Amino acid sequence: MIGNRKVDPNADFAKESMTLLLGTTATGQTAKRVDAYTPGFAFKVVKVEVYALTVTATISVDVQIGSTSVLSSAVTPVADTPTAGTLSSTTASLIGSATSVISLKYTSNGTGAATACYARIWIRPQPMNGEVAQ
**Rounded CA gap, 33 and 92, in Å?**
22
**Rounded CA gap, 122 and 44, in Å?**
9
What is the chain's length? 134
Nearest alpha carbon to residue 55 among 2, 95, 7, 112? 112
Radius of gyration of the chain (CA): 16
Q: List the domains of the chain with CATH numbers.
A: 17-125 (2.60.120)
For residues 63 and 70, is the Cβ–Cβ distance under 8 A? yes
**Rounded CA gap, 96 and 94, in Å?**
7
Per-residue model confidence (pLDDT) at position 1: 41
Regions of the chain with pLDDT less than 70: 1-13, 128-134
Per-residue model confidence (pLDDT) at position 126: 82
- pLDDT (tens digit per residue) in 32-53: 999 999 999 999 999 999 999 9
pTM, two decimal places: 0.88
For residues 73 and 86, is the Cβ–Cβ distance under 8 A? yes
Per-residue model confidence (pLDDT) at position 110: 87
